[in-house]
Chain A
Amino acid sequence: MSRKLKLRIWRGDADNGGLQDVVVDANEGEVVLDVIHRVQATQMGDLAVRWNCKAGKCGSCSMEINGKPRLACMTQVAAYGDDETITVTPLRAFPVIKDLVTDVSFNYKKAMEIPAYEHPKELKPGEARMEQIDVERSQEFRKCIECFLCQDTCHVIRDHEENKKSFAGPRFFIRIAELDMHPLDQLRNRKRTAQEEHGLGMCNITKCCTEVCPEHIRITDNAIIPMKERVVDTKYDPIRWLGSKIRKREGME
């Protein structure tokens, strides 16, 4: 069962560009990425779009579909009305390279700024013992496919280029939370550096990131809020503050 779909695609580069209308066949069960590929193969051979797995596992085909940050491979054409025009545009928080492809290098730079995992020195390979329940907290965050939709939607940086320098964004708050909750990680003060160096304090928990996460990671409730609460505890409780100075670590470990 095929139908004619009206698709509006943003085409252009960093200098200029605009929306172009095309009509393309759409078959039963197809996702937006399928029809973009059909446009590419039949009408616009040089239409730029990123994709890899086409199964919601790699996080490459991030774009905005009718203004909402989404994975094109997980967005059913049938979710839109028969007469509705589907508009696809590049991620707004990042500079356009060409058409639907943006420069997401910001995220890779931020990844390099998060201090790495530190394994206990005395623990040899194979000796680690962890409870399933303890690894599950961090595992939730390690489900992240790095689609960067949470970064794209986050209003701290979406239209505020000036904030990018001091704000790592939701993707990297869950990375810090994951390490902070890792049963074996030896590096202390992750919450405090999240606050002081990675801009955790700029987040005012509107939960937009959680809403767009295709992996349904509870970014705000399970990562950001717990870290914020403990940062507050540690910073403003004088006994914990003193304890942290003496033991050279955060109070809430």
Chain B
Amino acid sequence: MANLERYKYDVIVIGAGGAGLRAAVEAREAGLRVAIICKSLFGKAHTVMAEGGAAASMGNVNSGDNWMVHFRDTMRGGKFLNHYRMAELHAKESPDRVWELETWGALFDRTKEGKISQRNFGGHEYPRLAHVGDRTGLELIRTMQQKIVALQQKDGRDHGDMESHIKVFAELTITEIIKENEKVAGVYGYWRESGAEVLFEAPAVIIATGGVGKTFKITSNSWEGTGDGHALALKAGANLVDMEFLQFHPTGMVWPPSVRGILVTESVRGEGGILTNNLGERFMFKYIPDVFKDKYADNETEADGWYIDQDNNRRPPELLPRDEVARAINSEVKAGRGSEHGGVFLDVSKRISAEIIKKRLPSMWHQFYELAGVDITKEAMEVGPTCHYIMGGVEVEPDTAAAVGVPGLFAAGEVAGGMHGSNRLGGNSLSDLLVFGRRAGMGASEYVKKSSANPVSESSIRAAAERIEAPFSRSGGENSYSLHAELQEVTHNLVGIIRTGEELKNAIEKIAGIRERSASVSVSGGRKFNPGFHLAFDLDNMLLVAESTAKSAIKREESRGGHTRDDFPGMNSKWRQVNHISSFDGSKVNVREQALPAIPKELFDLFDVHELEKYLTAEEVAKGGSK
């Protein structure tokens, strides 16, 4: 193609959320030329929606905190299905990553001594989340966006062109990762504005595309969360790990219908919000699982006492890990004890003053006041579970974030799997994207320095171009909006918060049916900024993700974290030793079992053996961790 727009870079970063930007900074600082590609405008990525904070054991509020406590909390939260090495790196490195942001201009809330303040969150033993009111994600994005501008200004001074070494390509969709000679050679896509196609040649590609929430009907995710990176990686020959684990955040808005699913930050509970049902009962006391009984208060007096004296009281059960709280709310609603609109009540007005609510939870106040007509300083919010985060994702090497099986491909942030096991703790995603965004940038830089030229062939370009043209060359096919709505119904009803083998079987058939019909989707209008055309590609990605999730979920015959089987209600330590690996054979997703890497002795010994007995098999406990 003679007039094709072409670029050459050292590293391509797909996605301009926290992980992508952190990776780009690292690669540029390693001396490389970097392109950042994003579907939206620069600075709009879903990271801006993160409210609560970034978990890092700085110990600013409680000096008892350190990386080992954070590591233990993360493993417990993930029900020990986490890749131990990722959880270890994350716990060790997140304080440095948060402090580093401060050197780039971030302004976190402060303690009385002037240090970075840290707040309580579900599953974290100590106050651990560095935050800025309830808009921490926005602060992270803006800080890194401005750090990239700072790097560009330096390039302007050194090279005479601010965009000579790092350039943002906004509103551009990538449809394909191109490999030549079994290695990454570049990416292909189109400008959303014009529909014109673009080729980027580069030896290394970092996927940082975030999540898959739009596969579901009720979600806290924006339109961008369509699993693009998951699907691109699968098609490029990479694996996805444990795609059955989806986090349903316990508190999304439920009313009015147009805002259903929008996130209500966990900080509301961290600041003292309590959950009640329509009988006025504080129901979470009924739902403390055995594995957490010694850490959570079983009565109101002790739970309330914890907010004042954390050393002599156990935590309130509202601050259990998210999977526990989401299931509890689901059970209350199913038992007929829900609110008028199918949620439960979350009330912070009785514990803290209106002034403090507006100071600590300003965007929650604003969101409820403007969108639901509810004043949270005076009345309770109605909340219910919403699809929020996927723990599963691209299988990576922990230290380098390199995708297993595809030389030159890297993944970081929500799109990568392993770090959070079967359930992510709140606050661990912002620290995850900083820690592994940086590691992906380092990993890609090391790789690029050792790589040699690997040009993209004309036949690969032709194949990628044909795929983009396809929906326009068809006519009379179905509309992508209605197929998307149909997929969301299937996932919501059959692959949602509570699953059964029968329903999953049904879901797999239905998803395959929609996928078959999606092959004939046709698009009206031209190529110029045409959302129907854009959705046709997003739909394809979402279908692959949904297939991977349903096929992994039907295999896992137990309930753990973000995967609950009504027909297999308990946690089973045999299944803890198993990762589900999804791969793509060109027509369908295949799922196989793979052994979870064993925890080495020095990490094993950080736990009380009686706690490990709750999760591990007797043989594993007897063995005492790998040497």
Contacts and interface: CB of A to CB of B under 8 A. Distances in A.
A binds B: yes
Interface of A: 13, 27-31, 34, 40-42, 45-60, 74, 76, 97-99, 101, 104, 108, 111-112, 114-117, 119, 123, 125-126, 128-132, 135, 138-139, 142-146, 179, 182, 185
Given A30-B256, A48-B531, A129-B114, A54 B262 contact: yes
B43 A146 contact: yes
Chain B interface: which size bin?
35 or more
Contact of A27 (B46, B103, B133, B257): B257
Interface stretch (B240-248, B316-324, B364-372, B544-552): B364-372
- Top 3 nearest A-B pairs (CB, nearest first) are A29-B256, A46-B525, A117-B105
- Looking at B115, B257, B367, B529, which has the most chain A CB atoms within 10 Å of its CB? B529
A46 B530 contact: yes
A108 B42 contact: yes
Contact of B150 (A99, A117, A126, A182): A117
B255 A29 contact: yes
A222 B191 CA distance: 39
A74 B370 contact: yes
Contacts of A30: 256-258
Given A60-B40, A119-B105, A142-B142, A51 B223 contact: yes
Contacts of B107: 130, 135, 138-139, 142, 182
A240 to B, nearest CB: 27
B531 A112 contact: no
A130 to B, nearest CB: 5
Nearest to B262: A55
A99 B529 contact: yes
Contacts of B138: 57, 142-143, 145
Given A46-B533, A116-B153, A52 B146 contact: no
23 contacts: A28-B256, A30-B256, A45-B523, A46-B531, A46-B533, A48-B530, A54-B222, A55-B262, A56-B367, A57-B48, A98-B193, A101-B193, A116-B147, A119-B102, A126-B58, A129-B114, A130-B107, A132-B117, A139-B107, A139-B132, A139-B133, A142-B107, A182-B107
Contact of B99 (A53, A126, A146): A126
A52 B40 contact: yes
Contacts of B363: 56-57
- Looking at A41, A49, A115, which has the most chain B CB atoms within 10 Å of its CB? A41
Given A45-B479, A52-B40, A53-B48, A130 B256 contact: no
Given A29-B255, A30-B258, A45-B523, A57 B135 contact: yes
A116 B150 contact: yes
A45 B44 contact: no
Contacts of A126: 58, 95-96, 99, 102
Contacts, number: 178
A213 to B, nearest CB: 12
A117 B146 contact: yes
Contacts of A74: 370-371
B58 A58 contact: no
- Looking at A34, A97, A116, which has the most chain B CB atoms within 10 Å of its CB? A116
B598 to A, nearest CB: 34
B529 A98 contact: yes
Interface string B212-254: 0000000000111000000000000000000000000000000
A40 B480 CA distance: 11
B102 A49 contact: no
Contact of B48 (A40, A47, A58): A58
Nearest to A111: B149
A145 B384 CA distance: 27
Interface in B62-117: 95-96, 99-100, 102-105, 107-110, 113-115, 117
Contacts of A131: 110, 114
B481 A45 contact: yes
Contacts of A50: 40-41
Interface string B472-508: 0000000101100100000000000000000000000
Nearest to B524: A45
B191 to A, nearest CB: 11
Contact of B258 (A29, A45, A58, A179): A29
- Looking at A55, A128, A139, which has the most chain B CB atoms within 10 Å of its CB? A55
A146 B44 CA distance: 9
Nearest to A138: B107
B526 interface: yes
B263 interface: yes
Contact of B149 (A31, A112, A125): A112
